[in-house]
Amino acid sequence: MKGPVKALAYIVLILPLLVALFPFYWGTVTSFKPFNQIFANPPIFFPQPVVFDAYELLFSTVAPISLLNSFYIAATTGIITLVITMLGAYALARFPFLKGRNVIFGYLLAAPLFPAMIYVISLYRLLLGVGLINTHMGMIVVYTAYSIPFSLWILYGYFQTLPVELEEAAYLDGCGILSVLRRIVVPLSMPAMVAAFVFSFIVAYGDFVYANGFLQTTSLQTMSVWIAHQGGGGQILSKPVQWAATLGGGVIYTIPAAILFVFLQRFLVSGLTAGALKE
């Protein structure tokens, strides 16, 4: 690729990236501005001076607890989803005794395509009936059920790429199925397992609809609900909007997910592509 063409290609790629990153940049710098600079006209792109009032207000509320709630629910959802889908995907990939597997896959993959709002009333009544409304366990059950189809599809496709001869050799050496999973399948499938975990984590960590509808106790609410309420969601007439604290909460809220992607991105890319290319 020649110099001018290569430079043009970089410009075409960088411009959309800057547009995508600008809201995060603006929210970050605004969280460090004095209140009188938040709505300044013309806009102030660098805080003058840098203040931490928003974060002092943030940590004087239940925001840290809400952040821990979000992380706990998301991490637990990811682990449970990974265990369930690993066993299910391996059974479907290695033991093709189930009739109508394509129908099962079609149903599982079609269910998450509908908007989350459609399921709110039915899920609320279900959780209320089994005593899991306003509990973290109820949220984990909901997010796990929502994450299983896509995670199952990722792992199923990846398991089919693994050479079955390795597992057959292990069976001949006297290994049981659980030993084969632990010693062979899991180490070789780490990219796909990371991809399934990250997907389940993000589904639970970023949700607002279900968390806002099913968690009424303040100490149990997640960070997304706290940010919405701090910004006046549902109660904008009863208290002023704390813009700086809301933006500071958004910045802190993105940190765990960003760290997760930074450390696991190499597994994530290979796991998604390998699982998608094998039928």
pLDDT at 269: 62
According to the model, what pLDDT value does residue 183 have?
86
Q: Please give the residue that has the higher pLDDT: either 106 or 130.
A: 130
**Cβ atoms 62, 218 nearer than 8 A:** yes
Whether the pLDDT of residue 1 is over 80: the answer is no
Q: How many whole angstroms separate alpha carbon 143 and alpha carbon 210? A: 9
Identify the structural domains of the chain with CATH numbers, from first to last: 1-51 (no CATH), 61-277 (1.10.3720.10)
Structure tokens at 141: 């059950």
Q: What is the pLDDT of residues 39-97, one digit of tens each?
A: 888 888 888 888 888 888 888 888 899 999 999 999 999 999 999 999 888 888 887 66
For position 52, what pLDDT does the model report?
87
pLDDT of residue 274: 56
Q: Which pLDDT value is given to residue 100?
A: 65
Average of per-residue pLDDT values in the chain:
83
Confidence at 99, pLDDT banded by 50, 70, 90: low
pLDDT tens by residue, 232-261? 544 444 455 677 778 888 888 988 888 887
Asked whether residue 277 carries a pLDDT value surpassing 80, the answer given is no
Compute the average pLDDT of residues 148-156: 87
According to the model, what pLDDT value does residue 275 have?
Answer: 47
pLDDT of residue 158: 86
pTM (predicted TM-score): 0.83
CA distance 164 to 175: 14
The three state secondary structure string of the chain is CCHHHHHHHHHHHHHHHHHHHHHHHHHHHHCCCCHHHHCCCCCCCCCCCCCCHHHHHHHCCCHHHHHHHHHHHHHHHHHHHHHHHHHHHHHHHHCCCCCCHHHHHHHHHHHHHCCHHHHHHHHHHHHHHCCCCCCHHHHHHHHHHHHHHHHHHHHHHHHCCCCHHHHHHHHHCCCCHHHHHHHHHHHHCHHHHHHHHHHHHHHHHCCCHHHHHHCCCHHHCCHHHHHHHHCCCCCCCCCCCCHHHHHHHHHHHHHHHHHHHHHHHHHHHHHHHHHHHCC
